[in-house]
Structure 1
Amino acid sequence: MQSALSQTQNVTKTVIETEGGVVASQNSLAARAGAEVLAAGGDAVDAAIATSFVIGVLEPWMSGPAGGGAMMLWRADSEEAVALNHGMRSPAALDPADYPLSGNGIAGDLFPWEEVKDNRNVQGATAIAVPGVVDGLGRAHARYGRMPWAELLAPAIQHAKQGMFVDWYAALIIASTTRELAKDPDAAAMFLEDGQWPMVGAWTSLAEKRLDQSRMADTLDQIARDGARALYDGDLGAAMAEDVQAKGGSLSHDDLRAYEATFSPALTFPFRDATLHAVPGLTAGPTLQRALNEAANTPVSGQCAPDGTDFTAIARGLKSAYKHRLAHMGEDGEIPSAEGCTTHFSVVDRAGNMVSQTQTLLSIFGSRVVSPSTGLLMNNGIMWFDPVQGRANSLGPNKRCLMNVCPTLGETTSGTRFAIGASGGRKIVSAVANLAAFMTDHGMDIAEAFHHGRIDVSGGDLVIADEALPKETIATLSDTYDTRTAKRMVFPYAFACPAGVMRKNGRNSGCTEIMSPWGDAITEAEARK
């Protein structure tokens, strides 16, 4: 297929090494907020909390306080990897009978599920699950935080009071979901202009357009004053539940009061001579382990960059892992996740503590429903469940959602450590597997790894290869698998959107997906300027 995209343009991101901390995030302003916390003496966890809340304001279609996710933490003093699962749950009053199949076959959304009548598991209040991210951040702060909780939320509150600036990229994202946003009056009021996506002006216009996020600012201010549980136990939780039920959903205040994020030991496993740590349970961590275990059965080429044999081994591992995931995962077994709209950021502080956090609303703009009392865009976590009963991940009440998130920590034989993860649904595991192999098998630093071409294997028959990879590499892949090439672009993404940090010889660095127009790694020193 011919494309009008430039064939001569090269896109790179500058990577700086520093003794201070670094925050790598899909949103530059969120990364800066986290880096400013590090500059003020905060722990990596403090920086992660600030980054999380800011990115929920400035990238609201990807994640936010009404979403869920998972975190990996590395504690330098104890040399311990700890997992924190703050994923979503289905409401206790949810009735699977309220989600009848339409009879139209497979739905045209993110998962290979049978279509539900009126897309009740995808769109609207009936798609909303119990959120977990705020409770998770609160528990992380209680265990590891140094700075006052209210100070960490202050940047997000200020951004929400000002309102997110709508640039060309934000307008493009909003335009992609205008029809769905228009179905909820409160979502339409927040994101649209007279039922249409916001216009950003002519080519040379400098006029500013901003979202009205004042109600969200009030909510964040209350969470800052009263603590994370304010969203669950207090008036905020009651108001949110009442809003959702008024729009037809089953989320209750009792669901929120019962919610608890959980710490656990990491899923730690070897990959050749390296060691990786991922989140266990209903995440993509076990899938990553299976993929890399299988890939490790093929000796690495030993070259500075992966060749066709190396990529074929990764593809084989991912295919094997997805075959298992398709058959077995879920609270009653396991099942796959597809493309979602998620965000990832990674943090390293000057002491070497690390955080890898992935958080999500699931679909782009989640359920496309805004809670008017709180100003929060709500998730659509119910779509994570298979609406057909009697299967591994069947929809039911009070069940944990299976997530495709894969925040990961790694250590090479030389002592180099990294924290990586990505957004992109089913593409996430491929990105993490690729990057982990680049840095462990081939000794790449984070700049080399993030700029190098990758492959994607997301459970289907195809292997998607970056068209920038050498022809010989693509030919070798094609000898074994049906392989097609794709260009790394700003929108849409043919591959996942990763962010990561690295600590090597006592110096820190970070990078984000090179095609992400908002993503940046901000150093502690830069934040002081």
Structure 2
Amino acid sequence: MDGSTHHINGVDSSAIYHGQYKKAAVATDNVNCSAIARDILKRGGSAVDAAIAAMLCVGIQNCHSAGIGGGTVMTVYDAKTGDSIFFNSLSKSSSKAYYGVYGTDEETFYRVSQGATAVAIPGCISSFWTAHQRYGRLKWKELFSPAIRMAAEGIRIEKALAEAIQKQEQNIETLPSFREHFMHPNGILKREGDTLRMPKLAETLRKISKQGRATFYRGEVADMILDDIKGHPDGDSVLTAADFENFRTESSTLLEFDLNGLTFLVPTSPCGGPITCSILKILKGFNLGPDCIKDHHSKLRTYHRILEAFKAAYLQRVGLGDPDYNEEIHEFVKRLISDEFNEEQRKRISNEKAGSSLQFGVDLTPYFPPDDAGTSHISILDEFGNAVSMTSTINYYFGSKIIGRRSGIIFNNGMKNFSIPSKNMNQSDVPEKATFPIAVPSNLMGPNKRPLSSMCPIIVLDKTQPSRSRVQMVIGASGGVRIPTAISWVLINHLWLNMSVEKAIMTPRIHARVGKQLELQVEEDVDEKIVEGLLETMKHVLSSKPYGKPGTVVQIVSKIRCNGIAAASDPRKHGKTNGY
């Protein structure tokens, strides 16, 4: 946690991925998309305009992670009024989404993982339109121009997409639409530096740019999408025209909590805000500071406490889900983020050894929640003090593994984020080889429901300042279930351990995974002596499932302890900031 390493998770971090700016800053996971957002701001566009244009760009440049075939969540701060709002446009299940539609438990797991049956209603375009109607300055059509041009004329495949293509080689070889996009005619996988063209997607984006939200949910594009997800050998999607027509982006207030004299704005369930809040409130009582990592003993104890806080918070995911579907979740969240509850959890942490789930008040025997994955995040602060923290996802790499034969859209596999029911809720009867999660009642599949997500777009304010100067930080991450712990690591490093944003992001991370047991996933380049101490002295358990690459990817813009604005794009995904 001293931030001195030059490698993170096996990635060379020597490239310049951070910057200092005077007026406005952008952090995305692609250099081209950060530049597009900067250009939008300089042309007089709003922070929301810049975020939309940048995320449309990401949907081309990093099409394995995000795109208009997925869902989006967005936290917005309006400097003119001092108000904030959350736009929830997570992909949603069909009105016909019942488990009986999918077959047995294991059949359900595999049918919601890949193919047409895995696709949930995409929410991206709805969220973009809703936010733009309220905060946009430039014309809707202008925001699409860069992405349309890239999809039509072709892009240079950058490192992040090239790595994803390599990882998905087997799927690409067996799926005709993927071979067409990601392989050369001679059967060789495309690599970094090769050209990717997506002409059908370019035409779809052009239609949306001219016709707006309506064409995606009840017009020509909607018809194309419904045709794209029918007639598949693994089964047709249960999505209907009515599902698309009835889809809405939900606008709501955010959870607020105070820390270090700052006010954190985070989304509530089904997003990762309550978990992130709980982690930070538990750790607040330990009074962490630079002295906590001054020597090996102090550093080991600090790591141990942080990881125990991760466990204590993550165990509470078993009570989270879509509150519109279960009103009891509102009360569960109130308790989860309360000072009293988190002080109780802090007192349950032993300084000597790792705790069990029962120690933190949760019995993991009946069930354990699903992992989620993928995503892309954008953090923006404009020169007028407006801010956007936006996270978007198609869920897993290349989502459902369907590229629309008419629309060219890569569709999500959002149905995978629901929990799977089990005939026998006793986990001891689940075969060791089973990889599907046992039912978490609050996150069971149902009609017109949003699944549990870890996405957590955050804006941090200093409410003692005038509204135009209040935003102190914009932060969020991609990386599935590990998003709250990745964000927490960076916040701990930056706020409590006084690291610069680049050092806070560079520091290798450990995730406390809640699966069949509590176990650690460790990035490469974490101090070996610390890992040894955690396993041998503190009795933590190392997961057989590696942290993986790129792992978690954090994007941060901060005014804390800097002259102007500091921004950092996580080098794990080879991003780069921009601004002026």
Question: Shared fold (TM-score greater than 0.5)?
Answer: yes
Q: Report the CA distance between 1:465 and its aligned residue.
A: 4.6
Contact in 2 for aligned 1:337/1:384 (Cα 8 Å):
yes
Q: Report the CA distance between 1:187 and its aligned residue.
A: 3.3
Is 1:480 the counterpart of 2:538? The answer is yes
Is 1:320 the counterpart of 2:312? The answer is yes
Aligned partners of 2:217 and 2:12: how far apart in 1? Answer: 49
Alignment match, 1:146: 137
Q: Report the CA distance between 1:31 and its aligned residue.
A: 1.0
Contact in 1 for aligned 2:549/2:572 (Cα 8 Å):
no
Contact in 2 for aligned 1:186/1:372 (Cα 8 Å):
yes
Higher mean C-alpha deviation, range 392-401 or range 215-224: 392-401
Alignment match, 2:211: 226
Instruction: Indicate the SS of the match to 1:500.
Output: strand
Aligned partners of 2:10 and 2:410: how far apart in 1? Answer: 38
Q: Report the CA distance between 1:324 and its aligned residue.
A: 1.1
Structure 2 unmatched runs, 5+:
1-7, 333-367, 423-438, 465-469
Is 1:453 the counterpart of 2:508? The answer is yes
Aligned partners of 1:209 and 1:14: how far apart in 2? Answer: 23
Instruction: Indicate the SS of the match to 2:19.
Output: coil
The superposition leaves residues 97-140 of structure 1 with CA deviations (integer Å, 9 ceiling, x where unpaired) of 13223xxxxxxxxxxxx532682111110110001011001111
- 1:162-173 matches, within 5 Å, as 162-167=153-158, 169-173=160-164
Give the AA of the match of 1:115: E
Alignment match, 2:225: 240
Aligned partners of 1:263 and 1:65: how far apart in 2? Answer: 19
The superposition leaves residues 369-415 of structure 1 with CA deviations (integer Å, 9 ceiling, x where unpaired) of 11122110111111111231773222222211221111112246997
Is 1:64 the counterpart of 2:67? The answer is yes
The superposition leaves residues 172-215 of structure 1 with CA deviations (integer Å, 9 ceiling, x where unpaired) of 311322333445433332233459552449xxxxxx63223111
Report runs of 4+ in structure 1 exceeding 6 Å deviation: 5-9, 412-416
- 1:87-102 matches, within 5 Å, as 87-101=90-104
Q: Report the CA distance between 1:507 and its aligned residue.
A: 1.9
Aligned partners of 1:159 and 1:169: how far apart in 2? Answer: 17
Alignment match, 2:414: 381
- RMSD between superposed Cα atoms in Å: 3.1
Pick from 498, 508, 512: which aligns with 2:565? 508
Contact in 2 for aligned 1:245/1:252 (Cα 8 Å):
no
Question: Residues 229 and 7 of structure 1: is their aligned pair in 2 closer, same or farther, counting only changes over 3 Å?
Answer: closer
Alignment match, 1:298: 286
Pick from 172, 176, 191: which aligns with 2:167? 176
Q: Report the CA distance between 1:456 and its aligned residue.
A: 1.7
Q: Report the CA distance between 1:272 and its aligned residue.
A: 4.8
Give the AA of the match of 2:305: A
Give the AA of the match of 1:451: M
The share of aligned pairs that are identical, in percent, is: 24
TM-score, normalised via structure 2 length: 0.79
Instruction: Indicate the SS of the match to 2:18.
Output: coil
Give the AA of the match of 1:262: E
TM-score, normalised via structure 1 length: 0.86
Aligned partners of 1:145 and 1:303: how far apart in 2? Answer: 46
Aligned partners of 2:531 and 2:310: how far apart in 1? Answer: 17
Pick from 461, 480, 491: which aligns with 1:436? 491
Alignment match, 1:21: 24
Structure 1 unmatched runs, 5+:
102-113, 202-207, 525-529
Aligned partners of 2:454 and 2:121: how far apart in 1? Answer: 17
* Structure with the higher helix share, 1 or 2: 2
Instruction: Indicate the SS of the match to 1:246.
Output: coil
- 1:276-291 matches, within 5 Å, as 276-291=264-279
Question: Residues 233 and 286 of structure 1: is their aligned pair in 2 closer, same or farther, counting only changes over 3 Å?
Answer: same
The superposition leaves residues 150-189 of structure 1 with CA deviations (integer Å, 9 ceiling, x where unpaired) of 1111111111111232355533311322333445433332
Alignment match, 2:363: none
Aligned partners of 2:19 and 2:579: how far apart in 1? Answer: 8
Contact in 2 for aligned 1:138/1:227 (Cα 8 Å):
yes
Question: Residues 148 and 355 of structure 1: is their aligned pair in 2 closer, same or farther, counting only changes over 3 Å?
Answer: same
- 1:481-496 matches, within 5 Å, as 481-482=539-540, 492-493=549-550, 495-496=551-552
Give the AA of the match of 2:306: I
Aligned partners of 1:9 and 1:95: how far apart in 2? Answer: 46
Question: Residues 197 and 492 of structure 1: is their aligned pair in 2 closer, same or farther, counting only changes over 3 Å?
Answer: farther
Contact in 2 for aligned 1:337/1:403 (Cα 8 Å):
no
Question: Residues 442 and 132 of structure 1: is their aligned pair in 2 closer, same or farther, counting only changes over 3 Å?
Answer: same
